Amino acid sequence: MVERRFPDGFLWGCATAAHQVEGNNHNCDWWEFEQRGGILTGDSADPACDHYRRFREDFALLRQLHNNAHRFSVEWSRIEPEEGRFDAAQIAHYREVLAELRAQGMAPMVTLHHFTSPLWFARRGGWAAAGAPQAFLRFVRRVAAELGDLVAFWCTINEPNIYAYQGWMGGEFPPGRRGDLLGMVRVLANLSRAHEQAVAELHRLTPGVPVGLAHHEWLMMPADPRRRRDRLAARVAQGLMDGWPVRGRLRPVVEAPSDYIGLNHYSGSLVTPTRPWSGFVRRFNPPGLPTSDFGWPLQPQWLRVCLDRLRAANRPIYVTENGVATVDDRVRVRFLRGALEALWKSIADGVPVRGYFHWTSHDNFEWAHGYSMRFGLIAVDLATQRRTIKPSGRLYARVAERNALPALAA
């Protein structure tokens, strides 16, 4: 029997975001968006998983899953409820959260911006406004000073590309703008500046704590790899998906300064050119593949393709998110098994992957889709807040405990 081991010290964790799990988050743009009817299902992010109060019990469950790391976000609107005023009680709360993770043997990866912004910040134009990076930097400095000693990894910004697109082009995130291409470009430029400045500040304030960001990699593949125009269309689509403006030029996000690459990967599309008036490229699902409840094609092996492409970046890689929306946990079990095999093969090929954070631990508030999309390894009964580990959670626990995939017959 051959045991397929992961490197010693490999990090096994889950990822969450404050607004999706905490509950009672009433001072951020997503709450206002919810009041304006922005949540397609009509669900409310309050109380979500009530994790703000139940974090100790939740971390105990993650220990049962043998996690040795955890990625979560601190909520800017709690810590800085008004511009320049920091809330000592909220900072103390996050110190408790970090201390509890440490006490339970999990290395904390702290995301500083995961889709939510304080209302005061959103009201003066949010990430599209001049001065946004400076405002974020003041928050980053305070968090580093107050919490930095307990943090194992910083993740500055979650998915700049998805955030900017959904807020300014697709309208699914606040501020709910549609077709505002200029706004999206401004947001991306500000996010890229904010990230660069945050990296420098975090290095200065918390030397030795690795800093990165979580990049969403949606794979763009040629509809027919033998056709040159399909290959070209895929390259262009991928370039637009993966880039942000740096001093006026489109640069790949993964080339931004960072100590590690954070990869969020879920799915991909086939791409072929089309008429300019229909957007130049057409994306569609590969025929024959199963899809998640979001309609995203499920092919866990694509994780290996993404990881392989990142090899050139020559930095440690953490899979900061990977998972599947499904009410049928058997689908998640199959996907997870495939994804973990892809992960193992990438490492065996020499790609420097150092950790994997599954999205997500608990079924939670999936942004505009409310509770309709279930990504969790742990089910949450919304009426009672009862938690139940799913079979996929038990599978993940077995792999994390042994730091190896189940043995194959030799």
Active site residues: 159, 321
Size of the site for ligand FCB (CB under 6 A): 12
Of 70, 375, 396, 405, the one binding ligand FCB by CB under 6 A = 375
Does residue 47 contact residue 20 with C-beta atoms inside 8 Å?
no
Phi, psi of 295 (to 5 degrees): 85, 10
**How far, in Å, are 68, 229, 314, 318, 352 from residue 10 at the CA level?**
9, 41, 18, 10, 11
- Of the two residues 94 and 367, which places its CB atom closer to ligand FCB in the complex? 367
Interaction between residue 159 and ligand FCB (CB under 6 A): yes
CB of 228 to ligand FCB, least distance (A): 32
Nearest approach, Cβ of residue 364 and ligand FCB (Å): 9
Residue 148's identity, in one-letter code, is: G
CB 292 within 8 A of CB 331: yes
**Interface with ligand FCB in residues 162-191 (CB under 6 A):** 162
Closer of 25 and 264 to ligand FCB (Cβ): 264
Q: Name the one range near ligand FCB by CB under 6 A: 33-41, 158-166, 176-184, 298-306.
A: 158-166
Judged by CB under 6 A, which of 49, 366, 368, 371 binds ligand FCB?
Answer: 366
Please pick, from the candidates 12, 356, 359, 371, the single residue that binds ligand FCB as defined by CB under 6 A.
359
DSSP per position, 178-228: BS-HHHHHHHHHHHHHHHHHHHHHHHHHSTTS-EEEEEE--EEEESSTT-H
Residue of 321, 339, 347, 399 that binds ligand FCB (CB under 6 A) = 321
DSSP string, 350-391: T--EEEEEES-SB----GGGTTSS---SEEEETTTTEEEE-H
**For the stretch 168-197, what's the b/e string if a residue is b when 16 or more beta carbons lie within 10 angstroms of its beta carbon?**
bbbbbbbbbbeebeebbbbbbbbbbbbbbb
The smaller minimum CB distance to ligand FCB, of residues 307 and 405, is found at 307
Nearer to ligand FCB, 22 or 366 (CB): 366
**Contact region for ligand FCB (CB under 6 A) — 154-162, 196-204, 276-284, 347-355?**
154-162
Closer CB to ligand FCB, 20 or 117, in the complex: 20
Three state DSSP letters for 280-307 = CEEEECCCCCCECCCCCECCCCHHHHHH
**218, 157 Cβ separation under 8 angstroms:** no
Q: Is 94 in the site for ligand FCB (CB under 6 A)?
A: no
Kindly state whether residue 304 participates in binding ligand FCB, applying the rule CB under 6 A: no
Buried b (16+ CB within 10 A) or exposed e, 284-323: eeeeeeeebbeebbbbbebbbbbbebbbeeebebbbbbbb
Q: Which is nearer to ligand FCB, 367 or 396 (CB)?
A: 367
Q: Could you say whether residue 332 binds ligand FCB (CB under 6 A)?
A: no
State which residue, 20 or 206, has the beta carbon closest to ligand FCB: 20
> Restricting to residues 19-38, which ones interact with ligand FCB according to CB under 6 A?
20
Binding mask 215-244 for ligand FCB (x = CB under 6 A): -x----------------------------
Report yes or no: 1 and 406 within 8 Å, Cβ to Cβ: no
Contact between 367 and ligand FCB by CB under 6 A: the answer reads yes
List 11, 14, 17, 62, residue binding ligand FCB (CB under 6 A): 17
Q: Could you identify the residue written with the tokens 């082009």?
A: 169
For ligand FCB, the closer of residues 260 and 359 by Cβ is 359
Among positions 68, 116, 156, 158, the unique one binding ligand FCB when judged by CB under 6 A: 158
Task: Tell the smallest beta-carbon distance from residue 320 to ligand FCB (Å).
Answer: 9
The enclosing H or E element of 54 equals helix 51-64
Do residues 201 and 137 touch, judged by C-beta distance below 8 A?
A: yes
How far is it, in rounded angstroms, from Cα 331 to Cα 217?
Answer: 22
Question: Binding mask 239-278 vs ligand FCB (x if CB under 6 A, - otherwise)?
Answer: -------------------------x--------------
137 burial class (0-12, 13-18, 19+ CB within 10 angstroms)?
middle
Residues making contact with ligand FCB (CB under 6 A): 17, 20, 158-159, 162, 216, 264, 321, 359, 366-367, 375
